[in-house]
Amino acid sequence: MTRKTPVAVMISGRGSNMAALIEACEAPDFPAEIVLVLSNRYEAKGLKTAADAGIATEVIDYRGKGSRKAFEDAATAAIEAAGAELICLAGFMRLLTPHFVEHWRDRLINIHPSLLPAFPGLDTHERAIQTGVRISGCTVHFVRAEMDSGPIIVQAAVPVTAKDTARTLAARVLEQEHRIYPLAVALIASGKARRVGEQVIVDEDLSGLPPLVVPPTA
Ligand code: GRF
């Protein structure tokens, strides 16, 4: 087995995407390993999940640090000390400054519960239902300074039914989030996802995947 890419996961809450990444990383042939779970909130439930899995956790409570820059400098120091080469935002609920985003450019990815560029920001499922879209989904993307923007790595789509509430749609989308985040991390860690300009090209035949998972292939 070749070297595994060391990954830091940043969370603020429940951490179900983080848990999906932890589970994926347990496979011996998975090309990444989680070296740190970092939270900006002591109350984040995912911290216990990570600790129970034997993963190092750290909390940098922004509220005690005075400024956004102080938080981000402390976060960068912790992530670099852990040796992480890729950061996965997984329900991390603080806006990151352009300084942090640039420092980690192309090494910082996020998952968002919509088919970006549709519905960036909060309350995605409510807005998707109100807009009347028939298809929604989720996106893993490289992070750029503008919120919920950046080169798209993988997306998955799900149907929106007439009976859906934000809660039922969120659950359907979350199931796909848990599939595509590990997929995106594996593609990056194995060097199979290349950023070309502001697009990501995947050098792997993914035609075996269910049809609604649609990363671009070379
Ligand atoms: C997910 O829906 C993710 O797409 C969004 O925040 C939510 C986090 O959920 N960015 P969890 O903490 O991973 O369970």
Report all structural domains of the chain as residue ranges with CATH numbers, in order of start. 1-104 (3.40.50.170), 111-204 (3.40.50.170)
Per-residue pLDDT tens, the chain, 218 aa: give them.
689 999 999 999 999 999 999 999 999 999 999 999 999 999 999 999 999 999 999 999 877 657 888 999 999 999 999 999 999 999 999 889 999 999 999 999 999 999 999 999 999 999 999 999 999 999 999 999 999 999 999 999 999 999 999 999 999 999 999 999 999 999 999 999 999 999 999 988 777 766 565 544 55
CA distance 2 to 99: 32
Q: What pLDDT is stored for residue 203 in this prediction?
A: 87
Sequence-ordered list of residues with C-beta below 8 angstroms from that of 218, at least 6 positions apart, any chain? 201, 202, 203
Q: What pLDDT is stored for residue 212 in this prediction?
A: 61
Task: Provide the mean pLDDT of the chain.
Answer: 93
Nearest CA to ligand 1 atom 5: 91
- How far, in Å, is the centroid of ligand 1 from the Cα of 198? 24
Ligand 1 proximity of 90 Cβ (cutoff 6 Å): yes
Return the C-alpha torsion angle 91, 62, 122, 125, nearest 10.
30
Nearest CA to ligand 1 atom 1: 91
Ligand 1 proximity of 150 Cβ (cutoff 6 Å): no
Q: What number does the ligand 1 atom closest to the CA of 113 have?
A: 4
Q: How many residues appear in the chain? A: 218
- Helix, strand, coil proportions of the chain in percent (round to 5)? 35, 25, 45
Q: What pLDDT is stored for residue 210 in this prediction?
A: 65
Q: What number does the ligand 1 atom closest to the CA of 16 have?
A: 14
CA distance 165 to 123: 12
Bridge partners (DSSP) listed for residue 37 = 9, 57
Q: What pLDDT is stored for residue 72 in this prediction?
A: 95
Ligand 1 pocket test, pick from 17, 122, 149 with the greatest ligand atom count within 8 Å of Cβ, gives: 17
| Sign of the torsion angle spanned by Cα atoms 98, 181, 21, 6 | negative
pLDDT tens figures, 64-123:
657 888 999 999 999 999 999 999 999 999 889 999 999 999 999 999 999 999 999 999
Active-site residue list: 112
Q: What pLDDT is stored for residue 62 in this prediction?
A: 74
3-state secondary structure of 200: strand
Ligand 1 pocket test, pick from 16, 94, 119, 169 with the greatest ligand atom count within 8 Å of Cβ, gives: 16
Ligand 1 proximity of 120 Cβ (cutoff 6 Å): no
Q: What number does the ligand 1 atom closest to the CA of 138 have?
A: 4
CA distance 61 to 164: 36
CA distance 189 to 203: 13
